[in-house]
A and B are shown apart, each in its own frame.
With several copies, the nearest count.
Chain A
Amino acid sequence: MKSAVIVFPASNCDRDAAVALEQMTGRKPHMVWHQECDLPDVDLVVLPGGFSYGDYLRSGAMAGQSAVMRAVKAHAKKGGAVLGICNGFQVLTESHLLPGALMRNAGLKFVCRPVTMAVEETQNVFTRKYLHGQQVTFPVAHGDGNYFADEETLNRLEGEGRVVFRYAPGQNPNGSSRDIAGILSEKRNVLGLMPHPERVVDPLLGGTDGRGLFESLIETLS
């Protein structure tokens, strides 16, 4: 599987994503600077976590306008896989590759802790190696992870089986509507999620629950 990690000014999980990708695929991803207008030939594009442009104005808003996002949109339109983690999820909603918005956490504070979620959908390139309904624990680390969309959109997301990760009862760290932690695009090739799978691929760091996500991608995209 060939992959690229987009680097925005003040992305800060770009290295973490690259390390996890290399560890899982045996190949270094391309690191793509936000001013690039073209993407290398890759199967997967990762928008990493961090504070692109300081998350000033709104998280992900300025990154959503950067040159490289036009190329990411084109990649997605062709059916290419795009994974947005944390700030990457915010960038995906801001650039309308995913519906809804990520608002300030209901508790109004940044929250860093492990959260348990259910994998609700496995019919897609990102989660096919998990069992349907499997409980997984990833860390979250964000201040703006409160997923919001209007009722109609939420119903549609659920109706179309696009809610991939849902916080387990009592685990919702940010007030997200219907405990949503991660969603798919209509064509199921774009995934955005707030928790960090790339931080749980190494047992030394407290878990390997994130591996299934990378293994799913490798199996489908290689």
Chain B
Amino acid sequence: MKARVFVTLKNGVLDPQGKAIGHALNGLGFGAVGEVRQGKVIDLELSETNEAKARAALNDMCEKLLANTVIEKYEIELKA
């Protein structure tokens, strides 16, 4: 099974990188760009085939390692 995990900064946590990208895009003439936020995407291959179990394991991975929940939130996407 393949999984995709998104780790992004919580709302309210300042994202200077996103801001810099937004600024740069405006500078390049992309005027229609509003707020920009940058996060991480982590693609994993899992040997687990049971979806519920995979999701539980991924949750655990996020809490333990993939995200720092003081500043970040995460979303999990599973693809068969």
> Does A pair with B?
yes
| Residues of chain A contacted by B66 (CB below 8 angstroms) | 57
In chain A, positions 183-206 with a C-beta closer than 8 Å to chain B are none
Binary interface profile of A, 86-97, with partner B (CB < 8 Å = 1, else 0)?
Answer: 000000011000
* Chain B residues proximal to chain A, CB less than 8 Å: 13-14, 16-17, 20-21, 24, 27-28, 38, 40, 64-66, 68, 70-71
Instruction: Determine which of B14, B27, B65 lies in contact with A61 in the assembled complex, contact meaning CB atoms within 8 Å.
Output: B65
B20 pairs with A101, CB closer than 8 A: no
> Please, which residue of chain A has its CB at the minimum distance from the CB of B69?
A101
A56 pairs with B70, CB closer than 8 A: no
**How many Å from the CB of B26 to the closest CB on chain A?**
12
| Residues of chain A contacted by B21 (CB below 8 angstroms) | 56-57
| Residues of chain A contacted by B40 (CB below 8 angstroms) | 57
25 contacts between A and B (CB under 8 A): A53-B24, A54-B16, A54-B17, A56-B17, A56-B38, A57-B17, A57-B24, A57-B66, A58-B68, A61-B65, A62-B24, A65-B24, A65-B28, A93-B70, A94-B68, A99-B70, A101-B70, A104-B16, A104-B17, A107-B16, A108-B17, A148-B13, A148-B14, A148-B71, A149-B70
> Please, which residue of chain B has its CB at the minimum distance from the CB of A107?
B16
A62–B38 alpha-carbon span in the complex (Å): 15
Asked if A114 is at the interface (CB within 8 A of a chain B CB), the reply is no
* Chain A residues proximal to chain B, CB less than 8 Å: 53-54, 56-58, 61-62, 65, 93-94, 99-101, 103-104, 106-108, 148-149, 175
| Residues of chain B contacted by A58 (CB below 8 angstroms) | 68
| Residues of chain B contacted by A93 (CB below 8 angstroms) | 70
| Residues of chain B contacted by A56 (CB below 8 angstroms) | 16-17, 20-21, 38
Overall SS of chain A's interface: loop
Query: Other CB < 8 Å A-B pairs besides A56-B20, A107-B16, 16 of them?
Result: A53-B24, A56-B17, A56-B21, A56-B38, A57-B17, A57-B66, A61-B68, A62-B65, A65-B24, A65-B27, A100-B70, A104-B16, A104-B17, A106-B16, A148-B14, A175-B16
A57 pairs with B71, CB closer than 8 A: no
> Please, which residue of chain B has its CB at the minimum distance from the CB of A54?
B20
A103 pairs with B71, CB closer than 8 A: yes
**How many Å from the CB of B64 to the closest CB on chain A?**
7
> Please, which residue of chain A has its CB at the minimum distance from the CB of B9?
A103
A57 pairs with B27, CB closer than 8 A: no
| Residues of chain B contacted by A104 (CB below 8 angstroms) | 16-17
| Residues of chain B contacted by A175 (CB below 8 angstroms) | 16
**How many Å from the CB of B5 to the closest CB on chain A?**
11
B20 pairs with A62, CB closer than 8 A: yes
| Residues of chain B contacted by A54 (CB below 8 angstroms) | 16-17, 20
> Please, which residue of chain B has its CB at the minimum distance from the CB of A93?
B70
B68 pairs with A65, CB closer than 8 A: no
